[in-house]
Amino acid sequence: MAPRCIPEEEFTEEFMRPASGAGGQHVNKTTSGVRLHWNFANSAELNEEQKGRLRVLAAAYVQGDELVLLEHSERSLIRNREIARIRMQNLFRACLPQPKTRKPTKPTKSSQERRLKSKAARGRIKALRGGRGNDF
Highest mean pLDDT: which of 10-14, 20-24, 90-94, 115-119?
A: 115-119
Q: Does residue 95 come out as left (phi exceeding 0), alpha (psi in the -120 to 50 range) or beta? A: alpha
Assess if residue 22 is contained within a domain.
Answer: yes
Assess if residue 33 is contained within a domain.
Answer: yes
Q: Domain limits at 28?
A: 8-94
Instruction: Tell me the CATH number at 24.
Output: 3.30.160.20
Q: What value, to the nearest 5°, has the Cα angle with vertex 110 and ends 127 and 121?
A: 10
Assess if residue 50 is contained within a domain.
Answer: yes
Residue 38: count of CB within 10 angstroms of its CB: 25
The number of distinct structural domains making up the chain is 1
- Place 30 in a pLDDT band, splitting at 50, 70 and 90: confident
Predicted confidence at residue 2, as pLDDT, reads 46
pLDDT for 38-57, tens place per residue?
Answer: 888 888 888 899 888 888 98
Assess if residue 69 is contained within a domain.
Answer: yes
pLDDT for 122-133, tens place per residue?
Answer: 999 999 887 665
Predicted confidence at residue 23, as pLDDT, reads 61
Task: Using the predicted structure, report yes or no on whether residue 71 has a pLDDT greater than 70.
Answer: yes
Assess if residue 61 is contained within a domain.
Answer: yes
Task: Using the predicted structure, report yes or no on whether residue 106 has a pLDDT greater than 70.
Answer: yes
Assess if residue 111 is contained within a domain.
Answer: no
Assess if residue 32 is contained within a domain.
Answer: yes
d(CA 97, CA 95): 6
Assess if residue 135 is contained within a domain.
Answer: no
Task: Using the predicted structure, report yes or no on whether residue 134 has a pLDDT greater than 80.
Answer: no
